Amino acid sequence: MAVECGIRILFYIIFSVFILNSCDGAATDIELDAKAQLLHRLDSLNLLLYTFLLILTVLTIWTFKHRRLRFLHETGLAVIYGLIIGAIIRYGFTTNSAILHMPVVPDNSSKYNQSVPPDTLWLRFPEDKGGGLIKNKTFAYTFRGEIYKEDNEIDLKATFDPEIFFNIILPPIIFHAGYSLKRKYFFRNLGAILMYALLGTSISAFVIGALMYAFIQLIPHLSTSFTFLDTLYFGALISPTDPLTIISIFNDLHVDVNLYALVFGESVLNDAVAIVLSGSIQNYAERYQSGSGGFETVAFFQAFGDFVGIFSLSLFIGATMGCITALLTKFTRVRDFPLLESALFVLMSYSTFLIAEASDLTGVVAVLFCGICQAHYTYNNLSPDSRQRTKHLFELLNFLAENFIFSYIGVSMFTFPKHHFDPGFIFAGFLCALLGRAANVYPLSFILNLARKPKISMNYQHMLFFAGLRGAMSFALAIRNTVSDARQAMLTTTSLIVILTVILQGGATTQFLSWFNIPVGVDEEIEGLSQNGVRNDGSVPTGAKPNEKALLARIWGDFDTRYMKPLLTHSRPTLLETLPVCCGPLARILTTTQQMTQDDVSRKIDSDSDFCLEDREMERRRMNVQPRKRNHDDDDEDDDDEDLRIIGMEGFIPLRTL
Amino acid sequence: MAVECGIRILFYIIFSVFILNSCDGAATDIELDAKAQLLHRLDSLNLLLYTFLLILTVLTIWTFKHRRLRFLHETGLAVIYGLIIGAIIRYGFTTNSAILHMPVVPDNSSKYNQSVPPDTLWLRFPEDKGGGLIKNKTFAYTFRGEIYKEDNEIDLKATFDPEIFFNIILPPIIFHAGYSLKRKYFFRNLGAILMYALLGTSISAFVIGALMYAFIQLIPHLSTSFTFLDTLYFGALISPTDPLTIISIFNDLHVDVNLYALVFGESVLNDAVAIVLSGSIQNYAERYQSGSGGFETVAFFQAFGDFVGIFSLSLFIGATMGCITALLTKFTRVRDFPLLESALFVLMSYSTFLIAEASDLTGVVAVLFCGICQAHYTYNNLSPDSRQRTKHLFELLNFLAENFIFSYIGVSMFTFPKHHFDPGFIFAGFLCALLGRAANVYPLSFILNLARKPKISMNYQHMLFFAGLRGAMSFALAIRNTVSDARQAMLTTTSLIVILTVILQGGATTQFLSWFNIPVGVDEEIEGLSQNGVRNDGSVPTGAKPNEKALLARIWGDFDTRYMKPLLTHSRPTLLETLPVCCGPLARILTTTQQMTQDDVSRKIDSDSDFCLEDREMERRRMNVQPRKRNHDDDDEDDDDEDLRIIGMEGFIPLRTL
């Protein structure tokens, strides 16, 4: 019985694939309901396909990890499986198109004089003509897009709405990047990371844009369809590097933490930079087209203003929402109910993305900085249960989302209907992507090395250059807009660059690490200990100088320790100690009992403490505070809280000299 | 600076709402791109609205829990907030419809002679006529649905595609129900639960259907628009009771575990029954309409066959996928990588839903039984990390999904365009829903009490009747199809019944529990201990008789312990002990080293052990095995594995006498 059922189900599943493909709509008894059901099943099959791909990827990753094979990484695997399945779908089934389309014209009676196409169409089959079998019925149709080439019809097979990438798949990936950032090393290398990400990505985009434009002039059939803005847009979307593949290899191998911080910090930030940059280029293009033509200085500065404004406002929204969450978790006892707390955390983080998107800013940037703030402040207020739960949740979501996106890149290579293969453009794309990366890494490293204490060695520079895989963000930007031939050629080139860099560069990372003599097997904890060890034995460990922190990071670090952390978390010193005396009442309100009564041990919970100097500063501070405290305690025992506060104020050494 | 930015953002957000509503499309310079961006922002705002509602709900729930208020439950809160926000959207903003629609007719040149409407339309604005400002462009439109009343246009404001409920929101809720089922008490009350869920729901559906039909004959304007099948469909969709509200109250109060099992088990299963039942009624309606009219015996039996077939096949798919996951986790060492393991678990579970949906079965039923199997078998194979991770993940998803669905029920009451308020139908609906519940609980309890050992007391019956809140499943079924007037009246009535029962009955549960003298504050662990205490002091604790288990459950329990658990998990006894000797080689393959070498302590991990009798059976078995084992060990020390196996075979007492 069970076997029979199983076989029947198998047939069900197998045949449902064929039925879907052989249904050419010729049968006259198919009802509308059945059609809707068919579409629902198509949706389910589509999702099932990717779920199956992910299961396959998971199992293969396990086999690889189990057997300690490293020549192919998980994202590479997802891409390869995607390619195989995509090819099977494309060539395995003869699809005499299940999609019926029909040209229509406006009704005679309609008066439509708007500049945008209508949102919905009502199709009424007239009784007299058309030869249709459906009469006297009205059907609603919703707007989908403009058709540029009529033979290139919209095919729903195994493709997703690109908006899904931006609203569902990207946010957890980017948030996780921010949430799991190793902030200590990130801040220590802040200057270099900002340099590579902000300046480097822009340089790379312009270099690639210019080179591509020059290249395209050499190929007659391309020169007509690409403008300089098109190639610049291509430069912007192909510039961001992908953290996923390289970082999980670094994680496995315990690569030197500073290199890790450079690569991770840069890739995370340049995703954010690239999305804002590409948006600004589009805005510029719009203003440019409506203007007089030629290089428009005003439009250029507007675009630059856009870039700065959107980036900083998005950053501000993200940071604000992170801080609000921190305040909510600090001043309520929601931590007594970990489920509610985790739900609040997730909802606040996702709403950050939505608020930014709804106000025409960049959700990706907002959610990235929200993630950093959540990790920096809110995480310290969470109950142990919620800490683990949120970490686990975003780890899992990130894993699923990134593997989904790479599977999709593979599948869509064959199934996405809007590919345009142009060998010349593809070759130029590969070459320029390499040159653009080089134009980012080497000159900027040279400039950085002029000021930086532990210089970035040539080997590290080579590794940085090599770590420039392209990934999810490039693909998401490329697939967002595929209306013109130029855009379709960009999508194809981007897909190919992503696939090849992920498979080849990802697979060769281990090899390259050993070629470039990058220290692997570095245990972060040991590294951290050697930091503290500086003062014990007087020797300075290689690769970790105490004074390498940038001035900016120092000032921010001080401000953070004195005002932000005491305000947003339960950390010590409290605001009562750090704020001027005149703000006493305010400080009292903003300081919780828990903050007052806890002992210093609880501070250690925040193991990924972000400032290396902090420990020493704290120690210096405490050494000045503790003795006085003891003296004071002897004098006056009755009001301990008041006590602590006064002592704090007195004992605090202003660090403004820094 | 920061304040300025903040204000600017606030304005951004506030104005973006107005811009969206005031945009009537009259401005001629709005580009297509801007339109797409507007739609994207509308989507984001829409999602943001619900995220905001959920944040509000979470914070209020916390306040309520914190202050120990019990007059309103979290789902009730979500509904009320939804209603408030829905009303604000509906009446707060004057919406001079941002949606432009346009009647179209087929092109003269088109030859279209199919019985289904085309999937996509290509709208071309002709150069000569129409007065439109867009010329020589072609736009694609996709099919959305049939329009029955042209004034009732499709409005996108704050509504979701009902398909989202079925594909995204319901699966985690249902899976969680299965995964968190307290199987011990569920199986102990299996007979009663199956009776209430399978038979009771069907009775309730038919009683409600018949009563509604009779009622409708009294109201002239309704009698024309409703057929008996319509009212029967209404009966099927309003019959399932909702576990969420009542169960979380029971959880808070530690209500008597048997009542808990009855209420939870029934509500979980009757969701599954109702969805299959309503599907069968729809199939019957289709066959009926294509037939000769009148009561069709063949169609009726086909519908009954559908019901049984779809239910059991879906169950089979769910159970199979659960077992496959168990085998995968048992025979691979994927547990060494908890992230991969959790991902595999989630993907396998979701693919169960998709497989069932893609093969025209019922995903909800499949995912429910998949959840039960995952908890029963796979859970035992998972690494501790994955156990916690999956529990936490589904708990959180369930929480978010259920609160989302209740918020949406509230909001849609005002914003969903297809409501049809008919006081007569609404009144009849309320009355019949009550009567239908009574027709389920009281007669079946009477029948059950004829055979059942610890009888279901009248107070318990009243509580079961009272626990018949309607919830997510009723709403999801009602909103799935809203094409006709009858269906729209059903949706409105269902929404109102859900809202009122959740708020009123949910809020009064604590009160009712004390009225009916239901034992609360029962600690399951203590209850469990008193179970074991039976043999110690000879007394039988009230409310927990050892012999109450149904024969069916007994047979299954034995089979499960002897074959299923040893095959699918690392539990003892192994298959080597339970399978006949002839199957030795097979049994050896299917038994892991871990299974052989572990000590009995590891069995205790499965704390929610599903059979109360199991402990005693196991003990009896062990008492027969252990002494012989010891004897045997003395004889032969060299081959311990072989040893254990032989002993197992000899020492095993066949329980076929049961």
For the stretch A558-598, pLDDT in tens is: 888 888 888 888 877 777 777 777 777 788 778 777 777 76
- CA angle A603-A605-A610, nearest 5°? 80
Give the integer Cα–Cα distance in Å for A198 and B222: 67
Which residues in chain A have Cβ-Cβ distances shorter than 8 Å to B350? 51
Contact A142 B142 (CB under 8 A): yes
Which residues in chain A have Cβ-Cβ distances shorter than 8 Å to B399? 339, 343
Tokens matching residue A133: 């079998």
Q: How far is CA B262 from CA A238, A323, B182, B509, B552, in A?
A: 59, 45, 11, 16, 17
**Nearest-CA distance A381 → chain B (Å):** 16
CA-nearest residue of chain B to A334? B62
Give the integer Cα–Cα distance in Å for B251 and B395: 14
DSSP string, A552-614: HHHHHHHHIIIIIHHHHSS-SS-HHHHS-GGGHHHHHHTS-HHHHH--GGGGGG-TT-S-HHH
B483 touches chain A (CB under 8 A): no
Residue B647 CB partners (closer than 8 Å, separation 6+): B625, B628, B629, B632
Q: How far is CA A227 from CA A233, A292, B346, in A?
A: 10, 16, 46
Tokens matching residue A107: 């009704």
Give the integer Cα–Cα distance in Å for B247 and B267: 10
Listed residue (A214, A165, A211, A212) closest to A50, CA to CA:
A165
Q: Testing the interface with B: which of A141, A312, A357 to mutate, by most B Cβ within 10 A?
A: A141
A97 touches chain B (CB under 8 A): no
> Is B135 buried (19+), middle (13-18) or exposed (0-12) by CB count in 10 A?
exposed
Residue pair B418/B482 in contact by the 8 Å Cβ criterion? yes
Burial letters for B257-290: b for 16+ Cβ neighbours within 10 Å, e otherwise?
A: bbbbbbbbbbbbbbbbbbbbbbbbbbbbbebbee
Residue B588 CB partners (closer than 8 Å, separation 6+): B576, B645
A384 touches chain B (CB under 8 A): no
A525 touches chain B (CB under 8 A): no
pLDDT band, residue A524 (cuts 50/70/90): low
pLDDT digit string, tens, across residues A608-638: 444 333 344 444 444 444 433 333 333 333 3
Residue A295: the pLDDT is: 60
Give the integer Cα–Cα distance in Å for B614 and B538: 19
> Is A430 buried (19+), middle (13-18) or exposed (0-12) by CB count in 10 A?
middle
Tokens matching residue A255: 């690569």
Nearest to B43 among A2, A167, A313 (CB): A167
Give the integer Cα–Cα distance in Å for A551 and B217: 83
B138 touches chain A (CB under 8 A): yes
- Is 90 exceeded by the pLDDT of residue A649? no
> Is B448 buried (19+), middle (13-18) or exposed (0-12) by CB count in 10 A?
middle
Phi, psi of A73 (to 5 degrees): -95, 165
Give the integer Cα–Cα distance in Å for B285 and B484: 15
Mean pLDDT of chain A: 74
Contact B357 A317 (CB under 8 A): no
A45 touches chain B (CB under 8 A): yes
Q: Which long-range contacts (CB under 8 A, 24 or more apart) does B156-164 make?
A: B156/B42, B156/B99, B157/B89, B157/B95, B157/B415, B158/B46, B158/B49, B158/B86, B158/B89, B158/B411, B158/B412, B158/B415, B159/B412, B159/B415, B159/B416, B159/B417, B160/B46, B160/B408, B162/B476, B162/B479, B162/B480, B163/A40, B163/A43
Listed residue (B580, B433, B405, B557) closest to B493, CA to CA:
B433
Contact B137 A146 (CB under 8 A): yes
Give the integer Cα–Cα distance in Å for B300 and B306: 10
CA-nearest residue of chain B to A24? B114
Tokens matching residue B566: 């040893």
Q: State pTM to two decimals.
A: 0.78
Rg (CA), chain B: 29
Tokens matching residue B404: 């989302």
The alpha-helical segments, DSSP class H, found in A452-523 are: 458-466, 472-480, 485-500, 506-515
Helices B297-331, A2-22: crossing angle, 10 deg rounding: 100
Give the integer Cα–Cα distance in Å for B145 and B220: 30
Tokens matching residue A494: 């981007």
Give the integer Cα–Cα distance in Å for A60 and B343: 13
pLDDT digit string, tens, across residues A45-87: 888 888 898 898 888 888 887 887 767 777 888 889 999 888 8
Nearest to B62 among A47, A112, A337 (CB): A337
A126 alpha-carbon distance from chain centroid: 51
Mean pLDDT of A224-244: 86
Residue B297: the pLDDT is: 74
Give the integer Cα–Cα distance in Å for B431 and B441: 16
Listed residue (A553, A656, A565) closest to A611, CA to CA:
A553
Map residue B526 onto helix, strand or coil: helix
Sign of the Cα pseudo-torsion (A20, A22, A26, A30, in order): negative
Residue A321: the pLDDT is: 94
Q: Testing the interface with B: which of A42, A116, A252, A349 to mutate, by most B Cβ within 10 A?
A: A116
Residue A453: the pLDDT is: 72
Listed residue (B104, B97, B147) closest to B122, CA to CA:
B104
- Is 90 exceeded by the pLDDT of residue A249? no
Residue A243: the pLDDT is: 77
Residue A14: the pLDDT is: 39
Q: What is the mean pLDDT of each run of 10 residues along chain B (658 residues)?
A: 42 39 34 67 82 88 79 81 86 57 69 64 63 61 63 51 78 89 77 87 92 87 80 91 79 80 86 87 71 62 85 92 91 85 92 90 90 90 89 90 88 81 88 91 89 81 87 87 80 92 85 82 51 37 47 78 83 77 78 70 43 40 41 36 33 33
Give the integer Cα–Cα distance in Å for A642 and B420: 65
- Is 50 exceeded by the pLDDT of residue A546? no
Tokens matching residue A73: 């990484």
Residue B25 CB partners (closer than 8 Å, separation 6+): A114, A116, B98, B100
Binding-face residues of B in 267-296 toward A, CB within 8 A: 286
Query: How many CB atoms within 10 Å of residue A53?
Result: 25
Give the integer Cα–Cα distance in Å for B622 and B561: 14
Mean pLDDT of A88-100: 63
Q: A215-219, A247-251, A567-571, A638-642: which range is least confident on average?
A: A638-642
Residue pair A583/A648 in contact by the 8 Å Cβ criterion? no
pLDDT digit string, tens, across residues A287-304: 666 554 456 677 778 788
Residue pair A374/A325 in contact by the 8 Å Cβ criterion? yes
pLDDT band, residue A523 (cuts 50/70/90): low
CA-nearest residue of chain B to A2? B316
ipTM, interface predicted TM-score of the complex: 0.78
Residue that is written with structure tokens 């210096």 in the block: A620
Listed residue (A335, A583, A562, A282) closest to B36, CA to CA:
A282
Residue pair B239/B208 in contact by the 8 Å Cβ criterion? yes
CA-nearest residue of chain B to A360? B41
Query: How many CB atoms within 10 Å of residue A631?
Result: 10
Query: Bridge partners of A147?
Result: B138
Nearest to B16 among A35, A43, A359 (CB): A359
Residue B504 CB partners (closer than 8 Å, separation 6+): none
